[in-house]
Structure 1
Amino acid sequence: MKDLFVADLGKLENQTVTGFFAVAQKQTRSTREGVPYFAISISDCTGQIECRIWEAAAVVDEFGQGEVVKVQGQVCRYQDKLQIKIDKIRKARPEDSDKGKYDFGDFVPRTSCNVDDLWSELKGFVASFTNPHLQTLLYAFLDDLEIASALKNAPAAKSMHHAWIGGLLEHIVSLLGISDMAARHYPEINRDLLLTGVVLHDIGKLRELRWGTSFDYTLEGQLVGHITIGISMVERKLANLPDFPDNLRILVEHIILSHHGKYEFGSPKLPMIPEALLLHYLDDLDAKMQTMRSEFARAEAQGRDPGQLTDWVRALERPLLNTAGYLNEQQPATEPEPEEETNVLPAED
């Protein structure tokens, strides 16, 4: 295991650090004056940080996205965001790993939940269905060993919410819980149809994303996208279910096609049934709440006061305030209770 993680860097501002990280992104850019530099994002299982390299173009060409590099540079802050000004960088050598300086588990964040428990919870929801057709469709996915293995490991996104190993399964199970409660609140909702949409709405991400030392899009993911891929995966399973009602097929596919909610967010269709509309908002809610949790954890790792605003969060287009930290900071200090006075008479001579 390596001895320096992204989460440690907030406490090392203005210090020179050396460590192993995975290359998440690499770009050539220029300043306003036309001076070229390299913008590199490096990551590990605790997070990601931007880096800048002002020289050594030949060295940068030696490594690519997803590879492990050894970095030496100064931790600094630019526009109130931590970054590293890299002085030296090289591609990691095989002997670095052999000598225990890092292992590949250091670079990929993982769900803090027990995956086996998440899987059991998912299957428990499916077992509770009263509609045998929707239940059979979901079992066609969950009993597929290749799909099951991918679903237990896939992130839910490249860099947004639940962007870690097991993140997609964690997101689905969280969404199943709140959708189950919402279905009891709204009598017009078909619970089994809604929960089927929860399980399948992002199923195309199993082929849209790839994961290793970093997360990125596959070529199919870039050219086709997870919504279209998901429809293809559902239709392939339905081809082996000849008794599946066509009206249910239309509704399931509509939920998948419309779950982003708006055309500009990538939905080919707008939600036009109660289950699709509810799934869209609950999906968005679960993603945003997880983004908040992640930002609060990042701010804490950077040593920020819990009562202060976070950095600007691009995904939500605003800074955030941790209510719990703010309220705890505002609590008045508890004053010790005064000792009771005792009127002890002096002993008589």
Structure 2
Amino acid sequence: MKYIKDYKDGDRVFDIYLCKHKQSAVTKNGKSYDNLILQDKTGTVDAKIWDPNNPGIGDFDTLDYIEVYGDVTSFQNALQVNVKRIRRCQEGEFNPADYLPVSSKNIEEMFAELLSYIRAIENKYLRKLMEAFFVEDTEFIKTFKQSSAAKTVHHGFVGGLLEHTLGVVKLCDYYCKAYPLLKKDLLISAAICHDIGKTRELSLFPENDYTDEGQFLGHIIIGTEMIGEKIRRIEGFPSLLSGELKHCILAHHGEYEYGSPKKPAIIEAVALNFADNTDAKIQTFTEILNASTESGWLGYNRLFESNLRGTKLE
């Protein structure tokens, strides 16, 4: 099988892929065509069916596994597939594990490392709250391990939410060493659960799309509600501590225009915002570099509002 990450301009494709998305469109000249997103475990690629009525294009839909015959071309510094033929595949012709993007890091090892941070929390209320999610709630644990951290922007793969969470926790752990004023137990707890709402905001792969709850509320509100539900079951949980923890979650995007219901009002919320933004931005840039087939200037990127430059290691 030729994986998407190995595509080069001019390649010929004849393999099975997951159709992550299918949408009909019309050119400026009124000609119908189909936009597709093909996916395997290494990533996604845009594809075009310029002649949907071609008898070689079989019936298929979003989330079907399809055998694709076509050519890889470059358009505006991005690769895409010009599809000539498609056949919908039957169960047994493919292994689903080949088509779901998965973290390059070991999921169980990352989760064990996350648990080590929970065991180190000295505040009994915060430790009990973290254990309620990450030790006692088996359904939550299963979903958390499988969830992505985003639909497309960063950590958009199985295990992505865990990988991002651990990255944020490690940054916050460093902040606590560098800035002793920070309340370590509060900041580490906030880092561990800052994105737990994404377990309900996004569906699991292969869909990895926004749920109704995610569209209505978003992961920040969902996560705050999830924390509130667990806190109510912990007798004597201090109200001020509850408010500080929830505030960190509500403010972790930092600015209203980035979807944050609150702006940081305590130093731990400021630290969490910086850690979250750092891990997300560095991972986003990493994924851009990994997806690029070019060195040098890569063109303007709207997320960074800058013309980005990549350098291939020799």
Scaled by the length of structure 2, the TM-score of the pair is 0.92
User: Is the 1:161–1:291 contact (alpha carbons within 8 Å) kept by the matching residues of 2?
Assistant: yes
Residue identity opposite 1:39 in structure 2:
N
The yes-or-no answer on 1:7 pairing with 2:10 is no
CA deviation map 1:27-71 (0-9, x unaligned): 222333333321111111111111111222699894332221111
Counterpart selection for 1:269 from 262, 269, 277: 262
Cα distance in 1 for partners of 2:188, 2:110 equals 15
Change (3 A) 1:265 1:6: same
Query: Aligned-pair distance for 1:180?
Result: 0.6
- Aligned-partner residue type, residue 163 of structure 1: G
Contact 1:108 1:214 in 2 (8 A): no
**Distance change in 2, residues 1:64/1:36 (3 Å):** same
TM-aligned CA distance change 1:89 to 1:157, over 3 Å: same
Change (3 A) 1:64 1:220: farther
SS in 1 for 2:206: coil
Amino acid corresponding to residue 228 of structure 1 in structure 2:
I
Q: Deviations over 1:74-94 (max 9, x none)?
A: 111112211111111232223
2:123 equivalent in structure 1: 131
Aligned to 2:70: 73
User: Offset of 1:214 from its aligned partner?
Assistant: 4.4
Q: Is the 8 A contact 1:255 1:275 kept in 2?
A: yes
**C-alpha contact (below 8 Å) 2:143/2:199 kept by paired residues:** yes
1:37 pairs with 23, 33, 37, which one?
33
Cα distance, 1:285–1:114 mapped onto 2, change above 3 Å: same
**Alpha-carbon deviation of 1:312?**
4.3
Give ranges in structure 2 of 5+ residues lacking alignment: none
CA deviations 1:215-257 (Å, max 9, x no partner) are: 2222222222111211221111112112100001111111111
Matching residue within 295, 309, 314 for 2:288? 295
Separation of aligned partners in 1, 2:235 and 2:216: 30
Whole-angstrom CA distance in 2 between matches of 1:216 and 1:175: 23
Task: Please tell me the residue identity of whatever aligns with 1:112.
Answer: S
1:40–1:51 Cα contact (<8 Å) kept: yes
Aligned-residue identity in percent: 33
2:270 and 2:31 map into 1 onto residues whose CA distance is 49
Q: Indicate the larger mover: 114-123 or 241-250.
A: 114-123
Give the C-alpha shift of residue 141 in structure 1. Answer: 0.5
Return the alpha-carbon distance in structure 2 between the equivalents of residues 135 and 65 of structure 1.
43
- Residues 117-266 of structure 1 correspond to what in structure 2 (within 5 A)? 117-143=109-135, 144-266=137-259
2:298 pairs with 1:310? yes
Q: How many angstroms apart in 2 are the aligned matches of 1:139 and 1:57?
A: 56
Structure 1 gaps, min length 5 = 329-349
Letter in 1 for 2:31: V
Q: Highest Rg: 1 or 2?
A: 1
Q: 1:92 is matched with which residue? A: 89
2:11 and 2:290 map into 1 onto residues whose CA distance is: 22
Cα contact 2:33–2:52 (8 A) shared by 1: no
Q: Name the aligned partner's letter for residue 212 of structure 2.
A: L
- Do the aligned partners of 2:118 and 2:130 also contact (CA within 8 Å) in 1? yes
What RMSD, in angstroms, separates the aligned Cα atoms of the two structures? 2.1
The Cα of 1:72 is off from its aligned counterpart by 1.3
- Secondary structure, counterpart of 1:320 in structure 2: strand
Once the two structures are TM-superposed, the CA of residue 5 in structure 1 deviates from its matched residue by 1.3
